Amino acid sequence: MKGRVLIAAGSDSGGGAGIQADIKAVTALGGYAATAITALTAQNTRGVFGVLPIDPAFIRQQLEVVLDDIGADCIKTGMLHDAEVIETVASTLAAKAPDVPLVVDPVMVAKGGESLLQSEAVARLKERLLPRATVLTPNLPEAEALTGLRIADPEAMRRAGEALRAMGAAAVLVKGGHLPGPRIVDVLVTASGVRRFEGERIDTRHTHGTGCTLASAIATGLAQGMDLEAAVGRARVYLLEAIRTAPALGAGHGPVNHAHTVREFGR
């Protein structure tokens, strides 16, 4: 089966982001999701109320047993929490899956503003995972934190993407959802040049897990043999519809509708 995606990320008890969003997105796009859970969180649409780290040795074991048996066509990382976890994931992938495409979503801050990556871990992320990334998918605050640049427009997004490529990432998708305006611009910077993706902005508070969902959707495309631009394009279309048809759950930032691609039998 082509389309095996191995995800190393944290769990979201509310089901809208993290491993739960990853599994839903991969499955909805016809891939197969396997996981290595890096942390447990107690959260809902209002915020993150607790984080329980997973022993790095057990994270390594999760990755190894999946790679040894099921294998992977693409790997995606999300919340890695601290420097030791980043080192564990990076070293395991180097040993077990050095040539498998890797989508790195540098999850640093939750939708509600809570920090999900310890400050001392940022340097380790830049040192160990950026050079391994087939594509890095930062939002604007993450891109600013990683580069030290202020990003206020698509041209600055391009410069940030080029700076992150200079740090070692093969390609960078800088997501522009934090910029104001009626349309959202994402900028993909690769060795071949720059590609802008544009789409309508949907006025809604139900956007929890959009970063996780987009990165996992891109990883699914790469796992299925799509080229990067095609994988990004399909992932954006999928996410836009998931936002548009969000189920409006919770009192805060609600989840999107990951299952909109799934037909309901008997109707």
Q: Domain with 209 in it: what CATH number?
A: 3.40.1190.20
pLDDT classification of 262: cutoffs 50, 70, 90: confident
Domain count of the fold of the chain: 1
Q: Answer yes or no: 35 catalytic.
A: no
Q: At what angle do helices 228-244 and 210-223 cross, to 10 degrees?
A: 140
Residue 103 has pLDDT above 90, yes or no: yes
**pLDDT at site 261:** 92
For residue 213, being part of any structural domain is answered with yes
- pLDDT tens, 1-43? 689 999 999 999 999 999 999 999 999 999 999 999 999 999 9
Residue 237 has pLDDT above 60, yes or no: yes
Q: Answer yes or no: 175 catalytic.
A: yes
pLDDT classification of 265: cutoffs 50, 70, 90: very low
**pLDDT at site 117:** 64
Q: Answer yes or no: 74 catalytic.
A: no
Q: Answer yes or no: 254 catalytic.
A: no
Q: State the Rg of the chain over Cα.
A: 17
Structure tokens at 102: 């890797």
For residue 264, being part of any structural domain is answered with no
**pLDDT at site 120:** 75
Q: Is 20 exposed, middle or buried (0-12, 13-18, 19+ CB in 10 A)?
A: buried
- CA nearest neighbour of 136 among 105, 157, 108, 109: 105
For residue 265, being part of any structural domain is answered with no
For residue 266, being part of any structural domain is answered with no
Out of 212, 213, 221, 254, which one is annotated catalytic? 212
DSSP state letter for 259: G
**Residue 115 neighbours by CB distance under 10 Å:** 12
- CA nearest neighbour of 23 among 45, 1, 5: 5
For residue 117, being part of any structural domain is answered with yes
